[in-house]
Amino acid sequence: MTERKETLMRIIVFIVSGIILSVWKYLIVVFVLVNFVYTLFVGKRLKQIAELSEVWNTQWYDFQRYILFVSNKRPFPFADLKKNISKFQRK
């Protein structure tokens, strides 16, 4: 694909992926609050919620790289859903 067509495609990707990731972000805020309260009272983090939040973080990172012309790899939903950039670490 030529650079001009790829640049025009970024408009579509920006709109579609941007809407999906923005809506998804509200769910992540709920996850953060749940994990915060749970950790405050129980004394340990919820690994599953942390891992779900990391999926969003990975998608957001890929989205930014694409929109800022750092990469030509398209983000979700135009490519496969990558699970993690980093691994969850329990301390």
- Residue-by-residue pLDDT tens, the chain, 91 positions: 688 888 888 899 899 988 999 999 999 999 999 999 999 999 888 888 888 888 888 889 989 988 998 988 888 777 666 666 666 555 5
Quote the CA–CA distance of 81 and 73 in Å, as a whole number.
12
User: For residue 70, what are its two tokens?
Assistant: 């750092």
Q: Give the pLDDT of residue 53.
A: 86
Torsion angles phi and psi, residue 15, rounded to 5 = -70, -55
pTM: 0.76
Q: Give the pLDDT of residue 89.
A: 54
Q: Give the pLDDT of residue 47.
A: 85
Residue 60 contacts residue 28 (beta carbons within 8 Å) = no
Q: Give the pLDDT of residue 4.
A: 83
Quote the CA–CA distance of 36 and 15 in Å, as a whole number.
31
